[in-house]
Structure 1
Amino acid sequence: MSKDILFKTENDVFSYRIGGILIRDNKILLQKPKNDDGFSIPGGHVNFGEASSEALIREFKEEINADIKIERLVFVGENFFPWGRRPCHQISLYYAVSLCSEEQIPLTGTFQATDDLGNERIDLDFSWIALDELSAKKVYPTNLMEDLISLPEQVKHFIYVQE
C-alpha cells in the first residue's frame, strides 16, 4: 500500500502536493470541500517513490475517474497555512493538464467526488469556473489568481503565506 508524503506531528504538518490546472472553453476546473467556500486546484498528495506527474494522473483517475495528459509544469509553490490548529509547510507542483477524453466528466457546472486524506473521507465539489469570474471566488493559494487567467510561459516559483 502506498503512503502519502504527508507528515503530521503534534506541533506541525509537512505536505507534498501536486495540482492539475485544467482549462477548457475559458473555464477552469476547481475543487472544494463540500460546505466550504474556498476552492483549490484539483490534485492531491504524492506517494513515496512516485513521480509527481504520475501522482497527478493517479489523483485525477481516483477522484473524478478522468484520464489526463500532463502538458507542462507551470508553478512551484511553497505554501504556509494553518492545518487545523497546526502550521503547515507545503511544497506544491502545479501542472497544466488536458483531458484524454471529454466524455469522462461533466464539462460544465458542478459535480461531486470523494477523496481520502489521511484516515478521513472528504466530500468534494468540482466546479467549472469562468476565468473572468475567478476574482469573485476564494481560490487557494490566493496569489495565483492573475496567473491562472493567463498561464506564464516559464515555470514560476511563488511563496504563499496565509495568516
Structure 2
Amino acid sequence: MLIPRAVAVVVDGRRALVIKRFLRREAARSCAMCVGTGWAGAVCPGHRYAVLPGGHVEEGESAETAAVRELSEETTLVARIDRLLWTGEHNGRPASYFLMTDVSGVPVLSGPEAEEHGPNNSFELRWAGADEFASLNLYPADVREPLAELLRR
C-alpha cells in the first residue's frame, strides 16, 4: 500500500513557499526521484528540483493533520487548513494539497530536512512566483498550473 502524501500550500501575495532541493543517491534504484522520473541508468545523476512543504500521512492521521504537522516540522511555521485545493500524485503516491491560512512565524528550515542537509541532499526554503516554477523544476510538474492559477487570483 502506498503511503499518502499531504502538502501545505503557503501563499504570500503572488508567491508560494517551496523547498528547493538537490538530491543525489549512490544508486538510481534507491532514489525516489530516479524512480519517479523513470531514470534508466544505474547511477543516480543527481536532481535539482523544488517541492511544496509536505510529507507522509502517518498511520491513524488525517491528511489535514499531516499537512499542518509537516509544515511545522519542515519550516517552523504554524498554520491551519483553509481548504483542500486539489488532489494528485507524487511519485505514484496519492497526494492532497491544502491551502494554509492564519500562517504565523518566519520560515526556517527545521526537522529532518535540516538534519539531513548536506552536499548530496540539500534543502532551501524560498518564496517563488509562478514565473519561476519551470526554472526551479517544481515537482511534480502537474502542480505548476493549478498553483499558478491560485497565485493569479
TM over 0.5: yes
Query: TM (normalized to structure 2)?
Result: 0.69
The normalised TM-score by structure 1 is 0.65
Per-residue deviation, residues 62-96 of structure 1 (Å, max 9, x unmatched): 222111121111111134x4xxxxxxx31110111
Supply the distance in 1 between the matched residues of 2:145 and 2:136 (Cα, whole angstroms): 12
Aligned length: 122
Structure 1: which 5+ residue stretches go unaligned? 1-6, 8-13, 82-88, 153-163
8 Å contact 2:130–2:144 — kept in the other structure? Answer: no
Counting aligned pairs with the same residue, the percent is 25
* Structure 1 or 2: more strand by fraction: 1
Q: Aligned runs of 1:5-154 on 2, under 5 Å? A: 14-34=2-22, 36-79=47-90, 81=91, 89-101=92-104, 104-106=105-107, 112-115=109-112, 121-123=115-117, 124-151=123-150
Runs of 4+ in 1 over 4 A off after TM superposition: none
For residue 151 of structure 1, report the CA deviation from its aligned partner: 2.8
Q: Structure 2: which amino acid aligns with 1:143?
A: D
C-alpha distance after superposition, 1:88-129 (max 9, x if no partner): x3111011112432xx115xxxx533426xxxx532211111
Cα separation, 2, equivalents of 1:145 and 1:112: 23
- Counterpart CA distance in 1 for 2:125 and 2:82 is 21
User: Hey, what's the Cα distance between the residues in 1 that align with 2:85 and 2:66?
Assistant: 16
Across the aligned residues of Structure 1 and Structure 2, the Cα RMSD in angstroms comes to 2.3
Structure 1 pair 128/99, CA: closer, same or farther in 2 (3 Å)? Answer: farther
Gaps of 5+ in 2: 24-46, 118-122
Q: In proportion to residue count, which structure has more helix?
A: 2
